[in-house]
Structure 1
Amino acid sequence: MTEISKHDALVLLTQAAFIPRLSYFLRTSPGPSQQTSDEFNNELRMSFQTIFNVFFDDKGWRQAILPVNMGGLGLGVVAELAPSAFLSSAAATASLQDKILPMNVAYQDDLRLETFWRWCTVYGDIMDINVCSQKKWNEPFLNVSKSKLDELNDSPSDKARLMAVRSELGSAWLRAIPSTACGTRLDNGSIRVSLCLRLGLPVVSGYRCLCGADVFQLGHHGLSCRLGSGRQARHSAMNDYTCRLFQKADIPAVKEPAAYYLKATSGQMVTLWYRAERYINYTAREQGSAAVKAADFKNTKYKHLNDNTRVFVPICMETFGPVDKQTQLFFDNIGTKIVEKSGDPNDKIYI
């Protein structure tokens, strides 16, 4: 894993070779011993740190084991998920077992019952043993883990981060297939920074920025520093990408002036990719509120552009993914236009 692209390694670990195969193995047995599970989890944690050059604290690891839609990476915990996987598989195959085994002999699956009572000891008698859905068996553990994670991340910045990465678009990059041709492959440095920002892990060593501000280990300052080149580069990249979407939909488009307006027959857009301190208190309470406030500000500032010949549409995207309704509607509409032009329904997914 250390010899290949970090993006490829991440996909192999979480979606292809490792975690899915582990889940399949756990469905066929009641699970390893606690000692074996702890050793496996420690090995997984150390290996992940080595491959991606990150350091997990307890909060970061607790988040990483959660599913992607809960803000994690879907790594899971063997000791906690093994009983759920086994019980769901046993329930799903119970009728098949009855058909295979002789009908004149009464069988009792002691291993299944033992695993079930052990699960009930931890989470209570809240589940019927015949439930076949592993997702339902996992819910009690995931809900407890999510609650503990929220308790540990009690600062406004951490709350804002967790709410953002749990949004619909906050985890889109984790589900994207790395493809150089499609432009969805991230370089090794981007993967490391993205993982650290998502999990709240240290990115850099603390130092004093040229702008006079103190840069802390989490690396958030670089996202909004007025002297940083990355902010303008992301702004320009978003403009270029939006322009290519228009061209792909066969809609004439031109950027005018560069990196500020994107003028097309269907309207004008201003892109925003920004994580500023003044938005933290808002985003800690409501998901995507920074994008909404930015869109409201742009709509007010450029309301004179809305006339009989033009339509102004702000494109506002937070660093961690959330967007406002206008931006979401814009991408939905442009995606529909691209699909109509190409005939490939997957084109909308690639956006």
Structure 2
Amino acid sequence: MKRAVRDVELMRLLPQLKDPQSELLLLRSCMGIAKLFFGLRTCQPIHMEQATILFDKELRGVVEDIVVGGGPYFGDLQWRVASLHIRVGGLGLYSTVEVALYAFVASRALTWVLQDYILRDGGIYGMDSDFNIALDGLRDMLPTFDISSFASKDTVPQKAQHVLASRLFSKIVQDMEVNFDMTIRQKAVFGCLQASHAQNFLLAIPIDGLGQHMSPPVEYRIILRYRLMIPIFPIDEFFPVCRKSCLDQIGEHAVHCKELPGFKYRHDFVMDVLCDIFKRAGVSVKKEVPVNFLTDPQEGRSTLRPADVLVYGGIGRKHACVDLTRVSPLVGLRTGDFIVGQEALKAASSKVVKHEKACSDNQHVFIPFAFDTFGFLAPDVVDLLKR
């Protein structure tokens, strides 16, 4: 309990940084549950109950301050998403109440042989009632998961904690639609958050020199609010810039309106980052190169459109024209045929139809760099970055 209280006092100092990106990184890496993991793995969950409840309450308060800065709309759904693993769309800020059971069982099960060896002279073998009680609690938490392998030291999985954590988070994700009255949009957004690479931005170290630090703080908070399905604007009204669409509370139109200066800025920012990655990897590139052969199939002639990025000798000793395209992943919601990543894949396919033949005829390779605002990357993008 004392350790939990000290950790809570430490977490309360985070707002002094006035940098939500750094606060979230520190909270996830070394100031959150990381401070209690040793106790959770070595103490029977029933003895940690009071400490875990206190810690979770304070952790939620700190996360709420990081995301909304004291504002409204941070409810149970937002906390549920935030406390999930990054791999399944969360912020990686685990609930100690949920971790306590599987951490203790996994730790005891993996050290079974060692325990028997240490206690061999005392005639004590096997697990005690503490382990059995925790195992029963785990059965209640994961009723459809066969945990019989944890009841014998000969069948315990090598990565016991990983196995149990994966099963727990999978069950939580499956039950979310039942436990929360999620709208169609919320279900779609949550699906987007679970896509590969969607939450990778959370792992970025805030270094100004590498362009990985978001400033001012409101920018990072807006990203978190958008992903946690928290309203950004107070009411729905016409967008004052284009006057063509409704400025929805969630901020969907504001993010994707092409008449905003920020739309072109975000495109160019991704282009700059991509060029920087290539240069650091020793690959020769140039941005906005006038290749003079990218065509419009409807006109059948060159549009004089430059390649966003030209990679010299990048693919099979041929130059590669890389075309960046950012799309909204939620377009399909209106027609009822939403699929995660579908719009990015459509955009990539459209670009291929439009430019690939012209590039091929001129001994170039065309690569569509299509992605959506939640971080879904088209297969061609992943292949390019892995080269």
TM superposition score category, shorter chain reference: 0.7 to 0.9
Q: Distance in 2 between matches of 1:122 and 1:239?
A: 46
Provide Cα deviations, 1:76-105, integer angstroms capped at 9, x if missing partner. 222222111111111122222222224252
Provide Cα deviations, 1:167-190, integer angstroms capped at 9, x if missing partner. 221111112222222222223223
**1:293 Cα shift?**
0.3
Residues 298-307 or 168-177, more deviating: 298-307
Q: Of 156, 162, 178, which residue of structure 2 is paired with 1:135?
A: 162
1:52 aligns with 2:60: no
Which structure 2 residues correspond to residues 303-342 of structure 1 after superposition, within 5 A? 303-306=356-359, 307-333=361-387
Q: Of 84, 92, 109, which residue of structure 1 is paired with 2:128?
A: 109
Which structure 2 residues correspond to residues 1-351 of structure 1 after superposition, within 5 A? 1-4=14-17, 5-31=19-45, 32=47, 34=49, 36-53=51-68, 55-106=73-124, 109-124=128-143, 126-127=146-147, 128-130=150-152, 131=156, 133-151=160-178, 152=180, 155-187=183-215, 188-208=217-237, 209-210=239-240, 211-212=242-243, 213-248=245-280, 249-256=282-289, 261-262=307-308, 264=310, 265=312, 266-275=319-328, 277-280=330-333, 285-306=338-359, 307-333=361-387
State whether residues 236 and 259 of structure 1, in contact with CA within 8 Å, keep that contact through their aligned partners in structure 2.
no
Q: More strand per residue: 1 or 2?
A: 2
**1:250 Cα shift?**
4.0
TM-score for both structures, normalised by structure 1: 0.84
State whether residues 68 and 221 of structure 2, in contact with CA within 8 Å, keep that contact through their aligned partners in structure 1.
yes
Q: Distance in 1 between matches of 2:221 and 2:287?
A: 34
Provide Cα deviations, 1:92-124, integer angstroms capped at 9, x if missing partner. 222222222242523552222222223324434
SS in 2 for 1:253: strand
Structure with greater Cα Rg: 2
SS in 2 for 1:270: strand
Residues 116-125 or 159-168, more deviating: 116-125
Question: 2:26 is aligned with what amino acid?
Answer: L
RMSD: 2.8
Provide Cα deviations, 1:176-226, integer angstroms capped at 9, x if missing partner. 222222222223223212222222222332242113322233222211113
Question: 1:92 is aligned with what amino acid?
Answer: L
Q: Determine the structure 1 residue equivalent to 2:8.
A: none
Residues 185-194 or 65-74, more deviating: 185-194
C-alpha change, 1:321 and 1:260, in structure 2 (3 Å) is farther
Identity %: 24
What is the number of residues matched between the two proteins? 333
State whether residues 188 and 330 of structure 2, in contact with CA within 8 Å, keep that contact through their aligned partners in structure 1.
no
Q: Distance in 2 between matches of 1:83 and 1:318?
A: 37
SS in 2 for 1:314: strand
Q: Where do 5+ consecutive residues of structure 2 fail to align?
A: 1-13, 291-303, 313-318
C-alpha change, 1:143 and 1:269, in structure 2 (3 Å) is closer
SS in 1 for 2:264: helix
Question: 2:103 is aligned with what amino acid?
Answer: A
C-alpha change, 1:115 and 1:228, in structure 2 (3 Å) is same
Q: Distance in 1 between matches of 2:284 and 2:351?
A: 24
Q: Distance in 2 between matches of 1:169 and 1:110?
A: 43
Residues 4-13 or 279-288, more deviating: 279-288
Q: Distance in 1 between matches of 2:131 and 2:64?
A: 36
SS in 2 for 1:312: strand
State whether residues 285 and 309 of structure 2, in contact with CA within 8 Å, keep that contact through their aligned partners in structure 1.
no
